[in-house]
Amino acid sequence: MTVVVFLLDGCRADALAKAKAGNILGLMEEGVVAKRCRTVYPSLTGPGHVSILTGAYPERTGIVGHFYWDRKSRKILDIFSDKYCMSKTVLELLTEHGMEGASFGSYMGRGSADGRFRRAAKKSASWISGRKSLMGMIERSPSIYKFLRGFAVGRYSGFERDFQKGGHDMYYVAFNEVDKAGHVHGPESPEYFEAIKECDEKVGEAIQVAEKAGREVTVVVTSDHGQTSVREKLGLGALSLEEAGYGMDGSVDVSGARIITYKKGGETAVAAVVSRHVQIWLSRPGDAADVAELLEGRKGIEHVILKEEAKADHLAHERLGDVSFCLAPGYGFEFLPNCVKGDHGGIDPADMEVPLVIYKKGVGHFEIGEASTVDVAPTLLHVLGIPPAGQMQGRVLLRT
């Protein structure tokens, strides 16, 4: 048995039908479909991928966003890497049971059985990502960024070659074209649906390869988050904390996000703005209630919570900001380069609800009412005959 997870980054739950993604829709007719599958909050790439790979929520993985402010070192740390994940990935668990899995197209994939060259490329990418000036230069040249990224995360052509040989027990294949199209053109655009159709064609080709070779394959199609249409944009003024005594002290772009620093006498506040989600850390946490009160009711802002209120969102972790919030539907930030006509990170269904399709020959078609991306990892292990790990908070969706 081989398991293949196809992740369509940024694909909304309602988009497959609109895009007329024939191959995936065919899997839906013959397989298991979640009527309503939710990703984890915040609906960002890092937390979403990690939830699928670990079967755990941010409260357990520690990937509460793409950044966190370390009070001891007084530094903002970029945690958009599963080396900061505090739970084992399904790829690592496979290795413990004498199996192998490989990741293609995603920075998330700890435990992937990579070749020597790709392991070296990953180390180089990790080093480069820690050098802000160098990373900024690379990101300003999309062609160079795409070329170098391919070495680090693995290209789809690499998956094709490996899959034809049947070299691994599991494959985790991520497509980022859908997310890119959503950011630039919006999640209701022809370009967004065309990107989905292109990914759908690759899914179909992989299935044909398996059928031609007579191999038994379980296919999972899902996403790390959805996408919201952006109709109105907020400037830096929306993040002013002046009334709480914190004056804005600096603002810098980091990997498509914005890090803002504030000063209040000898005290400091740091905000990380990633897509439509914001976290604020205070050197004096006692000010959190005042900051939250200031933000509540402000135009375009919703779901303002204090750190101690994060349990309901499965976000109660020491890395979480003292105050966090997201933007209301239709809103984005004008200063973020990726926020053109679409973005994500919010709590509304367009951001949170994603497709989840599981096809295994012989199981037949049935629908699951409610599911979560944390259900994927325990289900994968079940298919491969491995008991779910104790760290996992998700449930097995197949019982055969």
Tens of pLDDT along 251-290? 999 989 999 999 999 899 999 999 999 999 999 999 999 9
C-alpha distance from residue 60 to each of 107, 120, 190 (Å) = 20, 29, 38
Q: Domain spanning 2-228+348-383: which superfamily?
A: Alkaline Phosphatase, subunit A (3.40.720.10)
Listed in sequence order, the residues at least 6 apart from 32 whose beta carbon sits closer than 8 Å to its beta carbon are 357, 358, 359, 360, 363, 365, 366, 367, 368, 397, 398
Say how far residue 75 (Cα) sits from the centre of its chain: 23
> What's the pLDDT score for residue 133?
54
Q: Rounded to an integer, what distance in angstroms lies between the CA atom of residue 261 and that of residue 245?
A: 13
Under 8 Å between Cβ of 314 and 59: yes
Domain ranges across the chain: 2-228+348-383, 232-343
> What's the pLDDT score for residue 247?
97
C-alpha distance from residue 93 to each of 7, 55, 156, 364 (Å) = 20, 12, 24, 28
Average of per-residue pLDDT across 124-141: 50
Residues above pLDDT 90, as percent of the chain: 79
> What's the pLDDT score for residue 38?
98
With a cut of 90, say whether residue 155 has pLDDT above it: no
Among the listed ranges 4-8, 111-115, 162-166, 184-188, which one has the minimum average pLDDT value? 111-115
Cβ count near 131 (within 10 Å)? 11
> What's the pLDDT score for residue 318?
97
Mean pLDDT across the chain? 91
> What's the pLDDT score for residue 338?
94
> What's the pLDDT score for residue 132?
53
Q: How confident is the model at residue 128 (pLDDT cuts 50, 70, 90)?
A: very low
With a cut of 80, say whether residue 148 has pLDDT above it: no
> What's the pLDDT score for residue 196?
98
Which numeric CATH code is attached to 232-343?
A: 3.30.1360
Helical segments of 243-395, H only: 288-295, 349-352, 376-383
Paired tokens of 304 = 């303002």
Q: Rounded to an integer, what distance in angstroms lies between the CA atom of residue 17 and that of residue 12?
A: 10
- Name the DSSP class of 97: T
With a cut of 70, say whether residue 154 has pLDDT above it: no
Average of per-residue pLDDT across 157-184: 94
pTM for this one? Answer: 0.92
Average of per-residue pLDDT across 317-337: 98
> What's the pLDDT score for residue 138?
44
- Tell me phi and psi for residue 9, to 5 degrees: -55, 125
With a cut of 50, say whether residue 145 has pLDDT above it: no
Say how far residue 316 (Cα) sits from the centre of its chain: 18
With a cut of 90, say whether residue 337 has pLDDT above it: yes
With a cut of 70, say whether residue 400 has pLDDT above it: no
Higher pLDDT, 131 or 158: 158
- Tell me phi and psi for residue 231, to 5 degrees: -115, -20
With a cut of 90, say whether residue 72 has pLDDT above it: no
Q: How would DSSP label each residue in 342-383?
A: EE--SSSHHHHEE-EEEE-TTT--EEEEEEEGGGHHHHHHHH
CA angle centred on 80, ends 78 and 83, rounded to 5°: 95
